[in-house]
Amino acid sequence: MAFNHISVLLNETIDALNLKPKMTVVDATVGGGGHSTEIQKKIPGGKIIALDKDIAAIEHTKTKLTNAEFHNTDFVNITEVLDGRKVDAIMADLGVSSHQIDTADRGFSYMNDAPLDMRMNQSQTKTAHHVVNVYKPEDLFKIIRDYGEERYAKRITDAIVNSRPIETTLQLAEIIRKAVPGNYYKTGGHPAKRTFQAIRIEVNNELGVIEKFITDSVNSLNKGGRIAIITFHSLEDRIVKQTFKHLATDCLCPPRTPICICHNKAKLKIITKKPIEPTEEEQKINPRSQSAKLRVAEKV
């Protein structure tokens, strides 16, 4: 299957990175290479360091980038990848790629029948099948409620547990559909959307690595270098916002401390006071961009 992916907030991200010739830029989630292809044009004589835990993304993007270094690894490993090197800009698109969703046998989609997989890194052992069939009911409920922000999490959890073993995506989607009220489509979209999102986040530990990635990335930036992160989920965006704010704060002492004793100095200046969102035109062309938010900060 061809590697098709529409890059979200492409122009906004390229502009925000403040790119110049001969820069070294990290694309920590290179995916289909859409952002990196444009970055390449802005940094003649420079270099791209491309990371992705999906080997299919790496193999595809190798055909599109000229002066690039590739690493088939999770972006949380950026410190190990750079091995002491400093870079001029870092970006990450935290969304699942269109290619992964549209490749039926990867098990991301509730619209195509496939084994319950959902791994971005196909060499890891934890799959959606394990989460759905092995997790304790209370843990599964918490994932669906928190990561999916699903108001019918209890109903869905009970239905899943009572239907085990569940083997395929369409089997799971049908169980979810029967568990929620018939008018769900009118207010919440496809009944399985939020639950599938929640399971995917859990399988790939998508929230657990964001804060560490940002902190490590900032430590690897040259002064004046920028970090740009695109999120697609309110929990992701909240983590990015709070981590940026923490790193942009001088004193971290408790509020009632009369004088600063921590001697902390801010590492970042926040560029986007509010996140940049897709234009109405982009949302029409690419509906998957609708929840995207871009936040940008600069190393001080």
> Is residue 90 located within the same domain as residue 219?
yes
Q: Are residues 295 and 256 in the same domain?
A: yes
Give the mean pLDDT of 250-279. 91
Q: Which pTM was predicted?
A: 0.83
**Cis peptide bond N-terminal to 165, omega within 30:** yes
Check residue 185 and give its pLDDT: 79
The structural domain count of the chain equals 2
What's the CATH code of the domain at 67? 3.40.50.150
Task: Quick: pLDDT tens for 80-100.
Answer: 999 999 999 999 999 876 666
Task: Say whether both 231 and 82 belong to one domain.
Answer: yes
Compute the average pLDDT of residues 22-50: 97
Whether residue 158 sits in one domain with residue 90: no
User: By percentage, how much of the chain surpasses pLDDT 90?
Assistant: 81
- Note whether 160 and 200 are same-domain residues: yes
Work out the pLDDT band at 7, boundaries 50, 70, 90. very high
Question: d(Cα 26, Cα 82) in Å, to the nearest integer?
Answer: 9
Give domain status of residue 228, yes or no: yes
Looking at the structure, do residues 139 and 87 belong to the same domain, yes or no? no
Residues 200 and 232 in one domain: no
Q: What is the pLDDT of residues 118-134, one digit of tens each?
A: 998 888 999 999 999 99
Residue 36 confidence (pLDDT) above 80:
yes
pLDDT tens digits, one per residue of 225-248: 999 999 999 999 999 999 999 999
Decide: 118 and 200 in contact? Cβ < 8 Å. yes
What is the pLDDT averaged over residues 176-201?
A: 90
The domain boundary, picked from 204, 228, 263, lies at 204
Which of 178, 204, 230 is the last residue in one of the domains? 204
Of 166, 187, 204, the one marking the end of a domain is 204
Query: Within this chain, do residues 225 and 280 fall inside the same structural domain, yes or no?
Result: yes
pLDDT value at residue 122 = 84
Residue 154 structural domain: 110-204
Is the domain of 40 the same as that of 72? Answer: yes
Mean pLDDT of the chain: 93
pLDDT value for 6 = 81
CATH code, domain with 176: 1.10.150.170
Q: What is the pLDDT of residues 60-77, one digit of tens each?
A: 999 999 999 999 999 999
Residues 133 and 275 in one domain: no
What's the Cα-to-Cα distance from 117 to each of 143, 168, 182, rounded to whole Å?
17, 9, 27
